[in-house]
Structure 1
Amino acid sequence: MTGLEIGFASIAVMLVLIYSGMHVAITLMLVSFVSVWMIRDNPDMAAKLMVAAFKDSISDYLFGVVPLFVLMGLVVSVAGIGRDTFDVAQQAFRKILGGLGVATVAANAIFAAITGISIASAAVFTKVAVPEMRRHGYTPHFSVGVVAGSAVLGMLIPPSLLFILYGVLTEQSVGDLFIAGVIPGLVLSATYALGIVAMGKWAPGFIGGTTVSTDDMPTMSFGEMAAKLAPIVILVALVLGGIYGGIFTPTEAGAAGAAGALVIAVLKRRLGWRDFWQVLVQTGHTTASICFLIMGASLYSRMLALSGMPNWLGDTVLGAGFGVNGVVIAMILVMVLLGTILDSASIMLLVLPIAVPILTGLQVDLIWLGVIAILAVEIGLLTPPFGLAVYVIKSTLGPDTDITLGQIFKGAAPFALMMALVLALVFIFPALATALL
């Protein structure tokens, strides 16, 4: 077999193994190692390439940002800042039909600016928002659907772990990617809020209709609202203000944010030693998982380059007359399709090593492409049969809940469509992602 044939065969084998249930990182490593062995007919060379790929992929100073932002997000969750944010948003939107849904979106948008982890947002607001919405007459599917839909804001509004991963894979500035996510994140938040208001007016049966009542909600004074929001404002100013103001690198901002979150949690007396230990263990687990994925993707990229497949695909695309738009649309469709079975990080690790070399040859702005890629893979968090955010919500609800997976997918469907609309807007108007750069 030629290198090109081995490259294409490796993709097919990987998809089969992943569909069979093998972990994505192990699949990437195994298939890449065997493929290099076959291309060069030399197992020693495959082993040396694996060692080099592993060493180079995680030795970068930038990679230190991952555990720091994960730690910050988990401490913020334990400190109850998500609960405080929802309380304030609930107070602000209490008079709107569907107001608790809008409050959930607003709280998630703010929470995303200090966590960057969609799964954490889904877990926190399932516990915080769903019981409150059910108590006020919202339908089960809308109560969980709005949490699932708004949880994905955590991967678009900076700081975002997916933007960090994209920056590592494509060698783009993480700071620039964070800035590029601001406007699309705000647009998506506004689209969700307007969509909920529209559903309240024209499809009240979907969200709960006239049974929704917020008159019995306790009121908060301005001082109480300010006190609940103060920690959030401080962390956002510290992390994002530090990055955008040129004071911190993304890694330094992650360290400052993690330290700030720890101080706030201690001052609030919401972080005991047992909670702190669990946060550290979970941070280690998450970081190790991401680390193995990046190492596997690095070896996979080198194997593809060795096979000559990216160059062949680039020449074929250019020779066939496909424009930038056609290639980007194809990438979007593949990512959304893979989203039905894989998590967001795995999709990026599989698709980007093939797509980016082609699009680089077509002079595509890789910062804009990063926003497109994040939106495309995040749609997959809401789509069956995998829908990672949906399963996190189902798991968080516990075994005694009367809400089924089907109801969660039903409730999340309008938000997946709204996300597709925002994706189309960013595709048609690239300035939404690049205007602040």
Structure 2
Amino acid sequence: MGFGLDALGIELGTYVLVGSIFLLLLTGLPLAFVTGLVALVFTFGWFGPNALPLITSRIYGFITEYSLVAVPMFVFMASLLDRSGIARDLFNGMRILAGRLPGGVAVQTLVVAFFLAAMSGIIGGEIVLLGILALPQMLRLGYDRNISIGVVCAGGSLGTMMPPSIVLIIYGLMASVSIADLFTAAITPATILMLSYVAYVLFRCIRNPDLGPPLPAQEAHMAGREKLQALKSIILPALIAFLVLGTIYGGIASVTEAASMGVAGVVAGTALRRELTGRLLHESVVQTINTCGMIVWIGIGAATLVGVYNLMGGNRFVSSTILGIDAAPIVIIMVMMLILMVLGMFLDWIGIAMLTLPIFVPIVQELGYDPIWFGILFCLNMQVSFLSPPFGPAAFYLKGVAPPGITLKHIFGSVAPFIILQLIVLSLVLFYPQVAMWILE
């Protein structure tokens, strides 16, 4: 016997539940505690005091999911890369790309961001790293501030899309689909996204070289010895990326095993470079624990909330409401994309995934669409959320390391053209699924 909440009925209950979440978020409570608290209230209020096993079974089911093991491995790998000199040397080595090309350093930054995304799949550390390495150099060379900031934020967010993306792993876990297939399908859209950024930068800078002045002759010129050194700095990151992605696509290792091999590769690389210290390992482990703790707590809260809501009949209510829209199936998918975009302005991607995917994915399958394709759309949507005001995480990551004088207003203004490019690629994959799916055929 509940405590009266069941008298609300599922429709009014849904409004009360969603409203409670947003009201509690306004108090500043973390999302994990908000979802957990609302789940507890609705569990006991709807089903009564004997319903506690409903919560414990959901928590147990979430934390014992084998696919989650890959997450701390990739986070640890990214933490090691952040603190070692591998990424810094990669950026300096890629100077060979910049040469005397207008906008060359911005293009170099995007290519390095793509490499880093292929090595770790973590977003925050990549933006901070590029904010420290690339942004000051572009501003020193007289690059347009908006292009410089936009390149760092958009390029650093490629980790959302490019395998081994943590977003793809969580999606695969929530949707019960092959993570390896998600990785495979994501490569083409991720590459198109990166190339669209490069094309935009080159278009702007070739039309007006003052926006991205070429490197001065003395900096652009590299002796043969320097070029060889630059190429050497690219070899190790390329090997690490191949170790992770090559073993997955070659069928040699599962995603979890490939993550472990990636960690081993980075540890071996830092040891060869004589950078492996107790302090580096300690700081990397602490960051990994903090990040994974956040992911697990948000996952526990959201999994509990969604489980209780489904038992209330919420999944049937949402499904019948969305499927009841008198429109073509593609319009229903577009409505889902719009909902995800709105949520992305206020919530973390992990919370969005945990709260929406258990409800959206069955609807997608009922409409006859491939959940792998929807996963790529979801990740592209989360790319947009990383840059979108008012709470775009990329802006806050960069603000923490940006030179004095660069405000959040500057950052959000600078990323606007890149958000438009993201929406164009999202539309491309939405209306032409083969852009992502051709590689799986």
Does the Cα contact within 8 Å between 1:8 and 1:309 map onto a contact in 2? no
Does the Cα contact within 8 Å between 1:6 and 1:35 map onto a contact in 2? no
Find out whether 1:12 has 2:15 as its counterpart: no
Aligned to 1:265, the other structure's residue is in SS state helix
Query: What does residue range 94-105 of structure 1 map to in structure 2 within 5 Å?
Result: 94-105=99-110
Find out whether 1:259 has 2:233 as its counterpart: no
Quick one: distance in 1 between partners of 2:330 and 2:264?
43
* Corresponding residue for residue 437 of structure 2: 434
Q: Which sections of structure 2, spanning at least 5 residues, go unmatched?
A: 1-7
Measure how far apart 1:7 and its partner are: 3.0
Quick one: distance in 2 between partners of 1:156 and 1:251?
18
Does the Cα contact within 8 Å between 1:313 and 1:358 map onto a contact in 2? no
Query: What does residue range 299-378 of structure 1 map to in structure 2 within 5 Å?
Result: 299-378=304-383
Measure how far apart 1:290 and its partner are: 0.7
Query: What does residue range 186-265 of structure 1 map to in structure 2 within 5 Å?
Result: 186-202=191-207, 207-208=211-212, 212-217=214-219, 219=222, 221=224, 222-265=227-270
Measure how far apart 1:121 and its partner are: 0.8
State TM-score, norm by structure 2: 0.93
From 293, 298, 317, the counterpart of 2:298: 293
| Aligned CA distance change for structure 1 residues 92 and 213 (closer, same or farther; 3 Å) | closer
Query: Counterpart amino acid of 1:13?
Result: S
* Corresponding residue for residue 49 of structure 2: 43
| Aligned CA distance change for structure 1 residues 136 and 3 (closer, same or farther; 3 Å) | same
Cα RMSD, aligned residues only? 1.7
| Aligned CA distance change for structure 1 residues 361 and 220 (closer, same or farther; 3 Å) | farther
Q: Deviations over 1:105-126 (max 9, x none)?
A: 1110011000101111101111
Q: Deviations over 1:351-395 (max 9, x none)?
A: 223322322221221111111111112212112111111111010
Does the Cα contact within 8 Å between 1:140 and 1:403 map onto a contact in 2? no
Measure how far apart 1:220 and its partner are: 5.6
* Corresponding residue for residue 34 of structure 1: 41
- Between 1:187-196 and 1:324-333, the stretch displaced more is 324-333
* Corresponding residue for residue 386 of structure 1: 391
Moved over 4 A (4+): none
| Aligned CA distance change for structure 1 residues 51 and 104 (closer, same or farther; 3 Å) | same
Aligned to 1:435, the other structure's residue is in SS state helix
Quick one: distance in 2 between partners of 1:220 and 1:72?
33
From 62, 73, 83, the counterpart of 1:57: 62
- Between 1:273-282 and 1:343-352, the stretch displaced more is 343-352
State TM-score, norm by structure 1: 0.94
Q: Percent identity?
A: 30
| Aligned CA distance change for structure 1 residues 220 and 297 (closer, same or farther; 3 Å) | farther
Query: Counterpart amino acid of 2:428?
Result: L
Query: What does residue range 261-280 of structure 1 map to in structure 2 within 5 Å?
Result: 261-280=266-285
Does the Cα contact within 8 Å between 1:335 and 1:376 map onto a contact in 2? yes
Quick one: distance in 2 between partners of 1:402 and 1:215?
29
Quick one: distance in 2 between partners of 1:344 and 1:220?
45
Does the Cα contact within 8 Å between 2:193 and 2:422 map onto a contact in 1? yes
Quick one: distance in 1 between partners of 2:222 and 2:82?
24
| Aligned CA distance change for structure 1 residues 236 and 2 (closer, same or farther; 3 Å) | same
From 388, 399, 404, the counterpart of 1:401: 404
* Corresponding residue for residue 21 of structure 1: 28
* Corresponding residue for residue 167 of structure 1: 172
Q: Which sections of structure 1, spanning at least 5 residues, go unmatched?
A: none
* Corresponding residue for residue 3 of structure 2: none
Aligned length: 430
